[in-house]
Structures are given as structure tokens and as C-alpha cells.
Homo-oligomer: A and B are copies of this chain.
């Protein structure tokens, strides 16, 4: 059996296994990034033309590209519809970017921690991952400059708005400083923003892609967190030098994104109805965040530190007493509690023990308190066993 060399780096995906376990109805899950089931909007399909069943363009539906370009311009990204491509969920943007940039040993720059599935695909292609630690309002700028002085990464992959997993939102200053550094060293930006619209304090900082003067960039987003992930409709917007390559890679990957989902997304993007849905969603998740934080205070105040997330779907906890949280996952699952250990979000998990990512959007509020109580119990027990 002669597999490719990259298959040696094909990790057993912890997140897939946890999510599979979390499917069990009795499970109290803090694991995934799933929208609340009750907030999936009712969708209408009766008006969809039959011609949507035919093959479409690799770029995506022209009207949807126009609508997304208009939305991006309103955020401060100078772009035309010709720079917009519809992809099969923003995860596909990462696959296309990996193909465009990464050979074995290619240096890339990531936040620490960073999005698990990004790490997975970049490492599969053989990337050599440089990291910059995240502070409360953005990356450590001194370390970032150092990395750029000493290395020439092919791109920097950043999630500046309600980062997954840390919930960090870069400040205005951090965004300007990062843009200036990427311009200075001419390093391509890949900016991933699935959570931008889920803001709880109304804050909406201009994307870093809109602050660049020189560096190439790919900006990516999705309707998965705000509309319906089951549509698998995401998008990327790229600087004109990159777009033609990405388009050919998209065609080779799956010809084009499903048109049924694109048609449905088009019924929402830019509409009054969508604005209203987003308002309801923000209110709903803000309430869930507050309920979650109250329960955290009850069960984790002596166990861990965290910042209250101003958007997104996650709390990021750092345990006061270090413990590799991967070691308590099975004990938690045995008590019907699923969570994401924080270690795999780092390129060097063993060097970063003691973090948990807890999703607050999906769990039934009736079971929230019991779930966190059990999770705290499992952690205390493991820490006591270590101390003994």
C-alpha cells in the first residue's frame, strides 16, 4: 500500500470523534461550534427556478457574488464582485489556500492558539508552523515583528474577530499594526471571519484586509454561523493577483459550489429580513452567553480564568492548576459531557496544557448547570489525583 507522504500527517481528528460522541441525545455538549437548533431560520424554496439544477460557474452565482462584494465594501474592503468566489463552506478556502501555498516545509504564520481544522489542513500539506501568541486585544506585536524579521512565511492566517478558540477580538490599534507589518514584510494575509456578525456589544472593526496597502490577501466568511451550516455556502474574496489561481484550484476541487444553497443564501444576504434575523440571533446568543457565564461562575470560579466573549460562540478557559485536559475527556464523556480540550489548538499541544474551549450556543439551558457541574467535578478529581 503506497499512500502519499502527506498521509503520514493525517491526524485522527479529535474534534470529529468528540462531535460523533456528542450526537448521542443524552450528551450535554460544549464541544462543537454548532448554531442553536431553534435559531435556524425557516427557509422557503417554492420560488427556486428549475434551472438552478443545472451546472453552474466555478466562481459562483453572479448575483450572490455582487451581494457579498457590496457587504464587504460596507465593511471597508475595497473589492469588486469579480474578486468574490463562492466556496463549499469557508473550510474550503483553507483547502484552496493550502494548495496554493504549501509544500512540505513551507513556513506559515499562525496565532497560538488557532482554529483546529486550519491547523489540520495546513499541517496535512506539510506546513512548518510559526506561531504568535495571542494577548487580550490581538497578537503579541513584538513577537510578530521578530517572526517576520527572521522568517519569510508564505502567509499569515489570522482570525481577528472573535477568534476560535480564544474569543479574542483584535483592537483597532492591533489591526493597524498587523496590517502595517504584513505590508512592511510583504506577507500575504488570510483573514478568516466566520463570527463577525455575532457581536454582542455592537462593535464592528474594519477587517485587516481593508487596511492593507501592499500585501496580497484572502478574506473568507460563511453563512454557517448566521444562517444554515447545512447549506455549505461560504465565500472568499481575494486580491486580484491571487484570484485566478484560486479559481482554477476551486474548479479542480469540486467544479463549483452547490447552487441550491447559493440560491437560498441569496434570498437572505443584504435583505431586511436577514438584518432582522441577525439582530434576533445576537440577542439570543448574548443571553446564552450570560447564562453560561453565570453557571461558570458557580462551578469554575476557583478552577479557571476566562474573559467574557464579546462575540462568537465560545468561552476559552485557562485552568489555574495545570492539567492536560485531553486526559479527562473520556471521564467527561462517560458522564455524558462533551467539551473540546484546548491543547490541540496549539501547534505544540504538550507545551500548552490546561485550556478548555466551551461552546455556549448549542446546549439546552435546562442542562447547562448540570453539565458544567459535572465537568468541574471531573477536572477537580483529576487534579486531586495528580496532587496525591
Contacts and interface: CB of A to CB of B under 8 A. Distances in A.
Interface string A25-45: 000000010110100111101
Contacts of A256: 232
7 closest cross-chain pairs (CB), A and B: A53-B228, A45-B45, A230-B259, A232-B258, A40-B53, A88-B254, A55-B229
Most chain B CB atoms below 10 A, which of A89, A102, A253, A257: A253
A28 to B, nearest CB: 17
Contacts of A227: 53
9 contacts: A2-B101, A2-B154, A4-B106, A32-B55, A37-B51, A55-B230, A92-B254, A231-B259, A232-B254
A383 interface: no
A130 to B, nearest CB: 14
A296 B276 CA distance: 58
Interface in A233-257: 233, 241, 245, 248-249, 251-257
A264 interface: yes
Interface in A129-174: 152, 154
Contacts of A154: 2-3
A109 interface: no
Contacts of A231: 53, 258-260
A100 interface: yes
A318 interface: no
A50 interface: yes
Interface of A: 1-7, 10-13, 16, 20, 32, 34-35, 37, 40-43, 45-46, 48, 50-58, 87-89, 91-92, 95, 99-103, 106, 117, 120-121, 124-125, 152, 154, 216, 224, 227-233, 241, 245, 248-249, 251-261, 264
B55 A260 contact: no
Given A7-B245, A232-B255, A257-B232, A46 B43 contact: no
A1 B258 contact: no
A4 B100 contact: yes
Contact of A121 (B10, B35, B252): B252
A259 B264 CA distance: 13
A356 to B, nearest CB: 21
B1 A252 contact: no
A43 B99 CA distance: 36
A88 B258 contact: yes
A219 to B, nearest CB: 18
A90 to B, nearest CB: 9
B55 A117 contact: no
Contacts of A124: 99, 249, 252
A92 B152 CA distance: 32
Query: Looking at A55, A154, A228, which has the most chain B CB atoms within 10 Å of its CB?
Result: A55
Contacts of A255: 89, 91, 117, 232
B232 A2 contact: no
